[in-house]
Amino acid sequence: MAAAVTTDSPTGVRAELALLYRRAGFGARPDELDAAERAGYEAAARGLLDAHDRPDPGAVPPPDLDAEADRRPPPASDRTARAAYARGLRERTEALIGWWLGRMVSTADPVTEKLTLFWHGHFATSIQKVRSPALMLAQNEIFRRSGRGPFDALTLAVARDPAMLIWLDAGRNVREHPNENFARELMELFTLGIGNYEERDVRETARAFTGWRAGRTGRFTVAAAQHDSGTKTILGHTGDLGGEDVVSLLAHDPASPRWVCSRLWSRYAAPVAPADQALTPLLTAYGPGLDTSAALRAMLLAPGFQATAGRLVAPPIDYVVGVLRALRITVPAPGAGGAAAPARLATVLRGLGQVPFAPPSVGGWPAGGAWLTTAASLVRTRFAAAVVDAADISAVADVPAAERVDAVARLLSVPAWSARTRSALSAAAADPPRLVTLALLAPEYLVT
C-alpha cells in the first residue's frame, strides 16, 4: 500500500500527523502527537485504525431510553399526559445526545466514532420524525458495529432498520400503491448517485421493498400481504427481486464504489466527484468485497491525502468534540450544569447548525463554508469563551508571555500560525484565557 507523502523536517511530519488526527478523529493532544511523531506517520495511522481491536475505556454504556415509552404516545385528547410524554421525549433525546457527545469526547477509538458520525450523515435519519431515541440509538449502534464491514451488509442492515423505515415512510409502501421515498434515496444518496439510474428503476425498486415495516415492537418485519412478489426489472436485471436482492444489486453496481468512495474522500479529505483520480487507491482497496475499512485505511495513507490540507472546514460536531478533547473537558450526565452540559452543548450545536440525531434532511448536513456564517461565529465565540473558563489552561498560562502563542499552538496541535493570526494572538498574550479563546476561533483551528 502506498505510504503517505512526508517531509524530512520534524515540523512537516508533525503537521501531517496533526492533519491525520483531525481528519481521522477529533484531533490530538500534545502527548499523543509527540508519541505519533516518534512512531512515524504510517505507524500512527495504523495505531488509530486498529484501536477498535482494543477495549475502549470511553465506551460508556448507553442510557436506558425506555423504548416502550417511545412507542405509546397518549391520545391527543389527554393534554396532561401529552405534555408529560413530550417532556419525557425531550429528556430521553437529551440523554441520547449527551451520551454520544460524551463518548466521542472520551473514546480511545476516535476513528470508529468519526466513522459512525460519517455514516449517520450518509444514511441521514432524524429523530424529529422518528420520535424515538431508542430507535435512533439502535441505528447508531448499527453504524458503529457494521460501519467497517462490507458496504452491502451495512446497507442491508440500514434498509431493515426501524428508524430508517419510519423516516422514509415504509408504512406507506404497499403493493397497490408503492411509495418511492426509500427507493429513491437508496439510489440517489446511499448507493449510486444521480445519473446512474432511471425513474423506472426507482419505481421497480419501490415494489421490491413493499411490505417492509417497523413493527409495533420496534423490530423489522415484512407484511407478506403487502409485498409485491411479481417480476421486476432494475438496472437491467429481471426477476422476482426482493429488497435483499436490490441492495446487493445496487451495492455491486459499477457506479456504487465510486459513489461511496467519493463520499468518504469528500468528508475526510476534500470535495471530489466520483470520477476523480484521487479515488484510485480507495477503489483498489474497496475492491469486489466492498471493504469500507480497507478504503478508509487506503485513504489515510494515500499519497494525495496530505495535499488536501486546508480544504475542509471542521463541522460543528467535530469542532465541539475536538475542543473538549483538547481542553480535557468531559461531558457530564444529562441534567448537570457547566460549559459541557449536554443541554448546553445541544444548544451550541443547534446554533452552529449540526445536532447529532437531527440532520435537516435525508441529504444530511451541508459542508464547507456553510459552517462559517456570522450567526455561527457568535455562537462559536461564546462556546469557546465558556469552555476556556472551565478548562485548565496552565500549559499556556504558566509560561512567559512571549512563549504563549507557541504554547497554545502546541495545546491545540496547530502546526503553525499565519503571520496575521500570530499578530492577533500576540496582542492577547498577556491574557491567557482570551488568548486560548482567540486561538479556538482562528482559521488555522477551524480549517483543516
pLDDT at site 2? 35
C-alpha cell recorded at residue 438: 482567540
pLDDT at site 218? 80
Bridge partners (DSSP) listed for residue 150: 291
pLDDT at site 221? 94
Under 8 Å between Cβ of 9 and 15:
no
Q: Which residues of the chain have pLDDT under 70?
A: 1-11, 216
283-to-46, 260, 272, 276 alpha-carbon distances in Å: 19, 9, 14, 11
pLDDT at site 6? 33
C-alpha 147 chain-centroid distance: 11
pLDDT at site 412? 98
Give Cβ neighbours of residue 394 (< 8 Å, ≥ 6 apart).
none
pLDDT at site 383? 98
Q: Report d(CA 260, CA 147) in Å as an integer.
A: 12
Q: Extract the runs of DSSP E, i.e. beta strands, from 288-359.
A: none
pLDDT at site 65? 85
Give Cβ neighbours of residue 53 (< 8 Å, ≥ 6 apart).
none
pLDDT at site 165? 97
Q: Report d(CA 400, CA 328) in Å as an integer.
A: 23
Give, for 391, the enclosing helix (H) or strand (E).
Answer: none
Give Cβ neighbours of residue 108 (< 8 Å, ≥ 6 apart).
51, 54, 56, 57, 58
Of 162, 417, 255, 258, give the one whose Cα is nearest residue 440: 417
Give, for 437, the enclosing helix (H) or strand (E).
Answer: helix 432-440
C-alpha cell recorded at residue 13: 511530519
Question: Is the whole model's pTM more than 0.75, yes or no?
Answer: yes
Give, for 408, the enclosing helix (H) or strand (E).
Answer: helix 404-411
Q: Report d(CA 75, CA 82) in Å as an integer.
A: 7
pLDDT at site 11? 54
